[in-house]
Chain A
């Protein structure tokens, strides 16, 4: 029963969406929009599951004392700091003891992790004392420092300059750098294709070289290269793309139908 009801739900929602596609009426559209909103809301709840998993795995790594496990402290402190920034904001001109509070809380988290990872009772006691000490100090700072405040009901935290700075100067540079690594990787991938001596790899490489050369005026017959490259992109490329699109489309359609009809059940686990 516990297993059958979900498949019944899949069937009902799936069939509804199929019918909805053919019914343009406002009422049908209205239900469709509601369902899409619901999916977004459920996704947010799922994020809590994800954060819990990340936290749990990081804590486990520290506890197991695996090589590199200590880096999980950085993940946990980064996670904490960003959450803290997202729910606090300065109330005046300066920051007061805000950064001290951030550091005390971070130290408290690290101490708690060390406490969890320690096996020696003496060390356990030491880390327990340290975490309580840091926590008390952090609470006192939070109570007596008026330069900043918690904002748990309104989104002032999103305008916290530290929240923005972390986004602009930590997240964005790493994102852009990770993305730019592709320039190196694409070169090494091209080299790999060059080394693979078979007909298919050669065709791939030749087409890639032709298209790469399209803006290069140094190549003899640059105009012909550009024309050939354009033709390649507009004609054989169009044909192959269409064939792939039809294949993928039918694959999706076939799998979706199996899901609606309850033939494909692998995604639901065993129960």
Chain B
């Protein structure tokens, strides 16, 4: 009897253990529990605002990174940002940023037919997913919004530029008016400028032409416009001395303007009948074909003087070296920094950068043109003063001052 209870008890225990063994989901259940633990914490303190100082169609999303980004489970790999025009979705992915980042700029397209279009003046909703190495393991934030984006009518980030515009404008106006009232404005001698008149005289003595190259710039480039003024001066002297002038051009609009400028100079010199329109002619809008043609002109016409003023690129050295081979006196000026060394080496006189603009103002022979040169010098003086104050500010960490000059686009 005693044994019977013992045997039944053991059988029951065996049976129960078997049933328990079958009903218990040991492996699968434990996995579910573990994966739940792998889900990272959601991001917090999310804010969505319209991007300021833009044309609209853009939103800035900021958030506090997940507790598991750089700490906790440390398993957040990136954040994915989704947006929708409805609170209930569907939400479309608009981008992702790596872990550790707390900001995303959703810059949409302004074209309604573009898939990346983001409408203005429309409620927009955002969600941010903290994503782990396994893209299926992610935690989605609450829906945020609504936010509306729109364009602004004033870019506050460009206030420093506006201040500079106003100051520079006023300085220029002041000096131009001073010059108009007859105040003498001193400009230091610049080698290349003085050389222009001598070079024209030399060409006349030798009975050889003057070659004037306006470069590869368009009529809209300020360097080319400065060059027109210099061309005007050169053409006037050429007309007075009755020397030949050759102006091959790269741009058809530049050709039109140059023809007008040279024609005017011949009128001013009192020799309109000597003006030949074809002395200013178009070559081609292909950079090296233009160089090939100008080089040919140099070696065939053997100009006494070659003047290169305007925008130049890789062709600068090809032109200047050929001019040198032709035995010409060469005067150059460009604002293309990379080409200045070649002109310095191959030409007799080179106007470096701003000197081209100074030469233009100087050779224009009008006092009011020098007004802006004075304003430029004042701006340079202001730059030096600001640089010294800024230097102190940077060393003593006066960030209020240094941030004043930051332009934010």
Q: Which residues of A contact B (CB under 8 A)?
A: 18, 21-29, 39, 42-43, 46-51, 53-54, 56-57, 60, 67-68, 171, 174-175, 178-179, 181-182, 185-186, 188-190, 192-193, 204, 241, 244-248, 250-259, 261, 263-264, 266-271
| Cα–Cα, bound, A193→B369 (Å) | 35
| Cα–Cα, bound, A266→B285 (Å) | 24
Q: Are B321 and A189 in contact (CB under 8 A)?
A: yes
Q: Are B260 and A22 in contact (CB under 8 A)?
A: no
Chain B hits for A51, CB < 8 A: 252, 282
Given contacts A255-B222, A258-B372, whether A25 and B318 have CB atoms under 8 Å apart is no
Q: How far is the CB of B164 from chain A (nearest CB, A)?
A: 9
Is residue B208 within 8 Å, beta carbon to beta carbon, of the partner chain? no
- Residue pairs across A and B with CB atoms within 8 Å: the count is 213
Chain B hits for A263, CB < 8 A: 176, 368-369, 371-372
Is residue B128 within 8 Å, beta carbon to beta carbon, of the partner chain? no
Q: Are B155 and A174 in contact (CB under 8 A)?
A: no
Range, interface on chain B: 35 or more
Q: How far is the CB of A229 from chain B (nearest CB, A)?
A: 16
Q: How far is the CB of A151 from chain B (nearest CB, A)?
A: 24
Q: Are B372 and A46 in contact (CB under 8 A)?
A: no
Given contacts A186-B317, A188-B321, A267-B228, whether A50 and B252 have CB atoms under 8 Å apart is yes
Determine the residue in chain A with the shortest Cβ distance to B359. A251
| Cα–Cα, bound, A190→B271 (Å) | 43
Q: Are B225 and A179 in contact (CB under 8 A)?
A: no
| Cα–Cα, bound, A46→B375 (Å) | 35
Q: How far is the CB of A271 from chain B (nearest CB, A)?
A: 8
Q: Are B284 and A255 in contact (CB under 8 A)?
A: no
Q: How far is the CB of A25 from chain B (nearest CB, A)?
A: 4
Choose among A24, A257, A259 the residue that contacts B168 (Cβ–Cβ < 8 A).
A257
Is residue B305 within 8 Å, beta carbon to beta carbon, of the partner chain? no
Q: Which residues of B contact A (CB under 8 A)?
A: 53-57, 110, 120, 151-155, 158, 161-162, 165, 168-169, 172, 176, 218-220, 222-223, 225-226, 228-229, 232, 249, 251-253, 255-257, 260-261, 263-264, 267-268, 278, 281-289, 291-292, 300, 314, 317-318, 320-321, 324, 335, 337, 340-342, 344-346, 352-354, 356-358, 360-361, 364, 368-369, 371-373, 375-376, 379-380, 383
| Cα–Cα, bound, A238→B285 (Å) | 33
Q: Are B335 and A248 in contact (CB under 8 A)?
A: yes
Q: Are B252 and A47 in contact (CB under 8 A)?
A: yes
Q: Are B282 and A246 in contact (CB under 8 A)?
A: no
Q: Are A246 and B380 in contact (CB under 8 A)?
A: yes
Chain B hits for A186, CB < 8 A: 317, 342
| Cα–Cα, bound, A159→B255 (Å) | 31
Q: Are A258 and B369 in contact (CB under 8 A)?
A: yes
Q: Are B354 and A248 in contact (CB under 8 A)?
A: yes
Given contacts A49-B252, A192-B345, A204-B344, whether A174 and B292 have CB atoms under 8 Å apart is yes
Chain B hits for A27, CB < 8 A: 151
Chain A hits for B284, CB < 8 A: 50, 54
Q: Is the interface of A mostly helix, strand, loop or mixed?
A: helix
Residue of B110, B168, B223, B357 ringed by the most chain A CB atoms within 10 A: B357
Q: Are A25 and B153 in contact (CB under 8 A)?
A: yes
Seed contacts A171-B286, A251-B335; 15 additional CB < 8 Å A-B pairs: A25-B151, A50-B285, A53-B278, A54-B282, A174-B288, A179-B288, A204-B345, A252-B222, A255-B226, A256-B222, A257-B168, A263-B368, A266-B228, A266-B261, A267-B261
Q: Are A250 and B379 in contact (CB under 8 A)?
A: yes
Q: Are B110 and A26 in contact (CB under 8 A)?
A: yes
Given contacts A174-B288, A189-B317, A251-B354, whether A21 and B158 have CB atoms under 8 Å apart is yes
Q: How far is the CB of B402 from chain A (nearest CB, A)?
A: 17
Q: How far is the CB of B321 from chain A (nearest CB, A)?
A: 4
Q: Are B155 and A269 in contact (CB under 8 A)?
A: no
Determine the residue in chain A with the shortest Cβ distance to B220. A39
| Cα–Cα, bound, A103→B289 (Å) | 24
